[in-house]
Amino acid sequence: MRRPLPEELGLDPANESPFKGKTGLRRVWNAFRYSLDGLRAAYLCEDAFRQETWLALLLIPLALWLPVGWLATALLIASLLLVLVVELLNSAIEAVVDRVGLENHRLAKRAKDIGSAAVFVSLCQVIVVWTGVLLEKL
């Protein structure tokens, strides 16, 4: 699969926020479009986000199928969505660090490592939540 060019993702710095300052429904519509653009960019450009999306798409139906209460189902699904949120934030941090400079720098490494650690912790909590809910049913 060919990686899209930044221009194809609408990532022209001169035109990043042409609707800043808009209010009401126009702002909500623009925010929605920007969110979809972000999801698309993450899915197309970030392997980890793509893998975690597929994991969520496999496990969310399983969570809905399991014979557990609505609160347990909500926890199972929320744990998966949290991983996606953390991965999006990690990817944003990495993009900003790379935008500032691609040379090796200890602070750039620290920022990227901390973002990666956040993703790891969110994946650990998926394991804890899913294990806890499943053990409760045994």
Q: Give the per-residue pLDDT at 27.
A: 87
Per-residue confidence of the chain (138 residues) as pLDDT tens digits? 677 776 777 776 556 665 556 678 988 998 999 999 999 999 999 999 999 999 999 999 999 999 999 999 999 999 999 999 999 999 999 999 999 999 999 999 999 999 999 999 999 999 999 999 999 987
The structure tokens 């806890």 sit at: 132
Residues acting as catalytic residues: 87
Distance CA 128, CA 37 (A): 32
What one-character-per-residue DSSP string does 13-58 give? Answer: GGGS-TTTT--HHHHHHHHHHHHHHHHHHHHHH-HHHHHHHHHHHH
Q: Give the per-residue pLDDT at 49.
A: 98
Residue pair 66/73 in contact (Cβ under 8 Å)? The answer is: yes
Distance CA 53, CA 59 (A): 10
Contacts of 53 by beta carbon, 8 Å cutoff, 6+ apart: 43, 84
Q: pTM of the predicted model, to two decimals?
A: 0.81
Residue pair 83/56 in contact (Cβ under 8 Å)? The answer is: yes
Q: Give the per-residue pLDDT at 63.
A: 97
Q: Give the per-residue pLDDT at 20.
A: 59
